[in-house]
Amino acid sequence: MQARHIAPVLTITLNPAIDLELSVPAWNPKQVMRAIQSRRSAGGKGLNVARVLTTLGIPAVAACVVGDLEGEIFIGLARHEKFQIAPLRIKGPTRTNLTISATGKPLCKINQPGPKMGASEWRQIKSELAALMPGRSWVVITGAPPPGLKASAYAELTRLAHTANARVALDCGGPVLRHALQACPDLIKPNRSELAETVGRSLTNRSSILKAIRELQARGARQLIVTNGPRAVYGLSETPKDIFMLHPPRVKASGVVGAGDAFLAGLIAGLTKKDVLRKCLNLALACGVATSTLPDPLFPKKLEIERWLGMINGSNQSECGRDNKTFHFHG
C-alpha cells in the first residue's frame, strides 16, 4: 500500500475570523450608509501563510479553531482554498472582523476579540493538534491567542511540536512570546510592534531594535527575524550568532494586510527546502514585497514572486561592514 503523503508544514491559528468587508460610496458616519458591495472570506495569519506556501509549491495544512454556526460558515468559506483545512471545534462562535471601505480604500476596521476557550476545550485542542504534528518539518504558530488562554499556550504547543520532532516558528509578541522562549522555538518572527510588546518598551530606532534582539537572544532565541514594514528587516542567524539588517526594495505599497505573513511563508519555504539563510531571506523578501504591491486581501501568484526574486537576487547585496557583529545587506 502506498504511504500517505504528509504536508511538511502545519500552520496553527487559534483565533481565526470571518473577514467581512463592506464597501460604501462615501464615508459619512453621521448618516446611514448603505453598502454597495460586500465580501466574506476565511481570515487568519496561519491561512495567509498556508496560501503563500501552497503558491510556492510547499504543501501545508492550516489548523483553525472554529465554533458554532459562524465556525461552519468559516469552513465553508475556506473550502475553495488549495490547501487542507483542519477545523478544531469549540463551543464559542468564530469571530467576525469588519472592514469598511470607500472607493477601494479601507476606512475603518473593527475586530472582535474571539470566543473564550475554557480549560477543558484547550486540553482537547492540544490533543487534536498533537495528533496533527508527527511527520511535519515545521509547525507555524501565528497571531494572538483567543481570550481565556494562559500566556503559556504557545510554549505548550512548542513543546508538543518538538516532541513530534518538528521545528517551530512563532509569529507573535508580548507575554505569549516571552513564555514561549522558555520552550526554545526554532524561529521567531515578530514585527517591530510585537517585539516592543515583548520587551516592554518602545523601539524607535535601529539601535533600540538591535538591543531588543540581543535581549531575546539572551533569553534563548535561536533564530529571530524582525520585520519593520518597508524600512528594514533585522535578524539573528542561528549559526553563526550574528545580527544582520536587510533593506527591502523600495516599492509603492497598495496593501497593508498579509505582507508579513507572506514574508514568513517565503522564509519557511526556503527553510523547508534546506536552503542557506540568505537564499531563504531573498525568497521571504520577494513574497512580502510582491504581496505589498497588491490591494488587500490579494496574494501574489508564483510568477510575480519569481519576478521580484529575480530582481532581489540580481541587486547589489554587499556586506557593508561589521560593528559589534552587526552587518548590512542592501537589496
Residues with catalytic annotation?
261
Nearest to 292 by CA among 247, 257, 261: 257
d(CA 57, CA 48): 14
d(CA 308, CA 285): 8
In 192-321, beta strands by DSSP E: 224-228, 232-236, 243-247
Look at strands 138-142 and 167-171 and give their pairing: parallel
d(CA 179, CA 153): 8
Q: What is the dihedral of CA 135, 11, 310, 260, to 10 degrees?
A: -150
DSSP 203: -
Residue recorded with cell 559589534: 324
In 266-305, beta strands by DSSP E: none
d(CA 299, CA 262): 8
DSSP 73-136: HHHHHHTTSSSEEEEEEESSPPEEEEEEEETTEEEEEEE-------HHHHHHHHHHHHHH-TT-
> Which secondary structure element, helix H or strand E, spans residue 142, and what is its range?
strand 138-142
CB 203 within 8 A of CB 196: yes
d(CA 178, CA 182): 7
C-alpha cell at 133: 504534528
DSSP 143: S
